[in-house]
Amino acid sequence: MEQGKRAVIIGAGPAGLTAAFELLTRTRIEPVVLEKCDYMGGISRTVNYKGNRIDIGGHRFFSKSDRVMQWWLKILPMQAVDGEHTEITYQRQTTRVAAHPEPSDPEREDRVMLVRNRKSRIYFMRQFFEYPITLSGDTLKKLGLWKTVKIGLSYIRSVLFPIKPETNLEQFFINRFGRELYLTFFKSYTEKVWGIECSQISAEWGAQRIKGLSIWKTLTHILKKMLPKKKGDIAQKDVETSLIERFLYPKYGPGQMWEEVAEKVKSRGAEILTHWNVETIEHSPSQTGRKVTAVVARNEQTGETRRFTGDYFFSTMPVKELVADLEPPAPPAVREVSDGLMYRDFITVGILCERIKLRDSSGKLVEDNWIYIQEPDVLVGRLQIFNNWSPFLVAEPGKVWIGLEYFCNDTDALWHKSEAEMIALAKAELASMNILDPQDVEDATVIHMPKTYPAYFGTYDRFPQVISWMNEFDNLFLVGRNGMHKYNNQDHSMLTAMTAVDNIIDGVRSRDNLWALNTEQEYHEEKREEKPIEEREEVSVG
Ligand SMILES: Cc1cc2nc3c(=O)[nH]c(=O)nc-3n(C[C@H](O)[C@H](O)[C@H](O)COP(=O)(O)OP(=O)(O)OC[C@H]3O[C@@H](n4cnc5c(N)ncnc54)[C@H](O)[C@@H]3O)c2cc1C
């Protein structure tokens, strides 16, 4: 079956490489992957800077899908922990993972998936707040009596007099949390991530990503915790096991996973061609709609162009660019919507230093993996402490390796700052927040990554027009994050690729099951259990 057929895959990120791997292991279709850059993993790459490794924003590996969890652990065996089974709990969802028959010891082996404790907090008013934010005595003490009273009163006001109609994200937040809590913990970070005021983001985004959260749920949660514990109470046991959240993380960062997958793809005889930028997608009518006949790619190093024909095409390139590159062109109405899709770009500054001032009570480096910076007087949005993701990311033991995350548009002045200017800004902001003394900085690097966040504004509300026109292609599969203009994490991006291959194998023509991924999973999860307040941040961060 399918012998001699070829699939052309655009992009060697998680979705493209998963598609290639699935085709090679489950079909006889031969994939060829075209990647415009010289690295594997796309946004999930890891940059190696003089032996210090840095992610494009820390990438935790956790999925509600067993299929994805098992897939990852087949590529990189899990380190030996907890005997026969290991429980990985994240966002109050627990997955039991069977120990590998030959578990790896990260001290001796490189191909290993670490099990890491998750800790993250909010940095606001130059101090730490628990994350997820809880109305604990500690929080209230730090906020002060006056602020606490204001939060309470403004919440009561929102309950009694909700804003109607609720059209934008600001109104959405205020109606659920009150203006004061919104201003304190939601506004600054959300606006840093998206670059526009919450009042200009559709309330629909909140409804999709932050559904069902309320202070009442937080209070109920606190009350439940205060109730006496019954012996053998299974629910209580669940709470206890979920107290320590853990995720998987490759010893050398997410890029290690995707370099490993790329090696497996190549060792099975498939080609991954780097520096090939797909610029034209040729198509023609078919009996049932239309089909892609070939893509034309240009080599970024030599300028050479090549035409790649195929039977199937998988695209992980931004859908906006894909539609613009179609030949013959897409209808003006479709083009108008896709041209109006927007993105958020991303800069990370890696800083290697002797020490930072964030220490716990015993004087040791804090254990946070990442810290949300809620301070409105700085541009940095999030801080990663890479030592706490994997100690193996840091070349020299004893040094501290951190990453500052800046969300921006490629048209902003920030995007065009020189490396020296960006490093100076990062150091000044860290100093102003009392996180680091600039004299302790030994080295630094700056990484730009365009189109990290597909935005749910611009023409996004009319995106279904693009989807339905693209669904008429018989042999083209839009998969992944920017490939579908969807807020997909690695696991969702992979699942779209896996499902596309399932559809080829099963002869399923409809693309509905691809577009339903992520959305439906979230939906089922919400029906099954109450979502904790922290998810408002998780989802807005990506
Ligand atoms: C700050 C941040 C933090 C994140 N944290 C997590 C996390 O903790 N856990 C998690 O699971 N996910 C996380 N993600 C999401 C994760 O990065 C993405 O889901 C994943 O990388 C998407 O995979 P993809 O293959 O669809 O796309 P990409 O990673 O974007 O890969 C697409 C590839 O296609 C190539 N390409 C594009 N255009 C062309 C063209 N014309 N021709 C040839 N090649 C082309 C690109 O160079 C790229 O290599 C995070 C994302 C961000 C931005």
pLDDT of the residue at 235: 34
- Specify the CATH architecture of the domain 6-42+256-341+457-522: 3-Layer(bba) Sandwich (3.50)
Ligand 1 atom closest to 488 (CA):
19
Q: Residue 145: what pLDDT? A: 87
Residues 11-36, mean pLDDT to the nearest whole number:
98
Nearest ligand 1 atom to alpha carbon 452: 53
Choosing among 3.40.50.300, 3.90.660.20, 1.20.120.1760, 3.30.70.520, the CATH entry for 343-454 is: 3.90.660.20
Domain ranges of the chain: 6-42+256-341+457-522, 133-222, 343-454
Rounded-to-integer distance, Cα 358 and Cα 436, Å? 8
Considering only CA atoms, which residue is closest to atom 33 of ligand 1? 11
Q: Which atom of ligand 1 is nearest to the CA of 279?
A: 41
Question: Ligand 1 centroid to 476 CA: how many Å?
Answer: 19
In angstroms, rounded to a whole number, what is the distance separating the alpha carbons of residues 69 and 80?
16
Ligand 1 atom with least separation from CA of 277 = 42
Chain segment 154-199, per-residue pLDDT in tens: 989 999 999 999 989 999 999 988 999 899 888 888 889 899 999 9
Closest Cα to residue 380, out of 343, 352, 416, 422?
A: 422
Q: Whose CA is nearest to atom 20 of ligand 1?
A: 490
pLDDT, one tens digit per residue, over 276-290 is 999 999 999 998 889
Q: Show Cβ contacts of residue 136 under 8 Å, excluding neighbours closer than 6 positions.
A: 130, 222
pLDDT at 99: 67
Supply the pLDDT for residue 87: 73
Say yes or no to pLDDT of 212 above 50. no
Do the two domains 6-42+256-341+457-522 and 343-454 of this chain adopt the same fold?
no
- Single-letter residue type at 466: V
Query: Mean of the per-residue pLDDT values for the chain?
Result: 88
Which ranges of 27-84 would DSSP assign to H, the alpha helix? 66-75
Residue 43 CA to ligand 1 centre (angstroms): 4
* pLDDT digits 0-9 by tens, 51-85: 999 999 999 999 989 999 999 999 999 998 766 67
Centre of ligand 1 from the C-alpha of residue 38, in Å: 14
Which residues lie with the beta carbon below 6 Å from any ligand 1 atom?
A: 10-16, 34-37, 42-44, 56-57, 59-60, 277-278, 316-317, 346, 452, 480-483, 488-491, 493, 542
- Are the CB atoms for 88 and 115 separated by under 8 Å? yes
Q: What does the DSSP assignment read for 511-528?
A: -HHHHHTTHHHHHHHHHH
Of 315-319, 365-369, 523-527, least confident by mean pLDDT is 523-527
Q: Is the pLDDT at 232 greater than 60, yes or no?
A: no
pLDDT at 353 over 90: yes
Query: If you search the block for the tokens 């099963």, which residue do you land on?
Result: 506
427-439: per-residue pLDDT in tens? 999 999 999 999 9
> How many angstroms does the Cα of residue 239 sit away from the middle of ligand 1?
33
The predicted structure's pLDDT at residue 220: 63
Quote the percentage of the chain above a pLDDT of 70. Answer: 85
